[in-house]
Amino acid sequence: MDYVDAISALEKAITLENKQKDKTQLLELLEQKDVPKPKAKIKKTKSDLVKRDLPFFKYHPEPTITGAFETENVVTCDCCNKPTDVYYTNPFFAIDDIDALCPWCIADGKAAKKFDGSFQDDINVDEVDDKQKLIELVERTPGYNGWQQEYWLAHCNDYCAFKGYVGWQEIEPILNEFADIEQDLAKAGGITLTELPNYLRDNGSCQGYLFQCICCNKYRLYYDFD
């Protein structure tokens, strides 16, 4: 071994010895009680969460049935940063990219206020005199998913409750309970009642959206195409 090789070997030995000393010192420190040890991150599960009653939404009274709220996983609400096993992933119109919102941040308006967003485009709604009703609809009511731009119907000078996604099979038994289904069809796109059975399919190219008046309980229908 020449002089250069000897120097190189010596440097490697010194480096290895220093690393071993550092490791030994670290282990000694960790044994001391006053040194905090890193804690493992604990992933929340459904059983860990405190169960809370879901808030009531008068314009969308059954959001878990309609699919507006998902319940498959435990996620973190983008508004309150708390874990939740009930969360909203439907349309939310805001500049920020939002992944999930809990029902409580929607109901009290915190989500809409924090992100300056809305759950329904306030242009694509029927006209109602009371502005506060519009605010409740667009800022504190979970929306629904349409093929195109979602539209919210009203009746008796108030917004209707969204009841769910329907096809001809679902609405045929309740045709006599509609306020004026022919008028609804004409407004939505011009399909006649006679033609409707050939087009309207739940989860089909022509999708129906069922609404119910919260005053007189009459139904209304909106539809669009993919």
Residue 19 placed within a domain: no
The reply to whether 125 and 151 lie within a common domain is no
The reply to whether 54 and 122 lie within a common domain is yes
Residue 10 placed within a domain: no
Q: pLDDT 10s digit of each residue in the chain, 226 long?
A: 554 454 454 455 445 455 455 555 544 544 554 444 444 333 555 555 667 889 999 999 999 999 999 999 999 999 999 999 999 988 999 999 999 999 999 999 999 999 999 999 999 999 999 999 999 999 999 999 999 999 999 999 999 999 999 999 999 999 999 999 999 999 998 899 999 999 999 999 999 999 999 999 999 999 999 9
Residue 6 placed within a domain: no
The reply to whether 139 and 152 lie within a common domain is no
- Structure confidence at residue 44 (pLDDT): 53
Residue 31 placed within a domain: no
Domain stop point among 103, 121, 145: 145
- Structure confidence at residue 10 (pLDDT): 43
The reply to whether 182 and 91 lie within a common domain is no
The reply to whether 127 and 65 lie within a common domain is yes
The phi, psi pair for 106, rounded to 5°, reads: -75, -50
14 phi-psi bin (left φ>0, alpha ψ -120 to 50, beta other): alpha
Domain stop point among 124, 145, 166: 145
- Structure confidence at residue 89 (pLDDT): 87
Residue 147 buriedness (CB in 10 A; 0-12 / 13-18 / 19+): middle
Of the CA atoms within 13 Å of residue 152, those in its CB half-sphere come to 26
Residue 15 placed within a domain: no
The reply to whether 160 and 117 lie within a common domain is no
The reply to whether 170 and 74 lie within a common domain is no
Domain stop point among 128, 145, 162: 145
Question: Hey, how many other C-beta atoms are within 10 angstroms of the C-beta on 62?
Answer: 14
Note down the domain range covering 219.
147-226
The reply to whether 169 and 214 lie within a common domain is yes
Number of domains in the chain: 2
The reply to whether 48 and 116 lie within a common domain is yes
The reply to whether 112 and 98 lie within a common domain is yes
Q: Which among 79, 82, 99 is positioned nearest to 90, based on CA atoms?
A: 99
Three-state SS for the chain is CCHHHHHHHHHHHHHHHHHHHHHHHHHHHHHCCCCCCCCCCCCCCHHHCCCCCCCCCCCCCCHHHHCCEECCCCEECCCCCCEECCEECCCCECCCCCCCECHHHHHCCHHHHHHCCECCCCCCECCCCCHHHHHHHHHHCCCCCCCCCCCECEECCEECEEEEEECHHHHHHHHHHECCHHHHHHHHCCCCCCCHHHHECCCCCEEEEEEECCCCCCEEEEEEEC
The reply to whether 88 and 176 lie within a common domain is no
- Structure confidence at residue 40 (pLDDT): 36
Residue 101 placed within a domain: yes
* Pairing mode of beta strands 206-212, 161-166: antiparallel
The reply to whether 54 and 123 lie within a common domain is yes
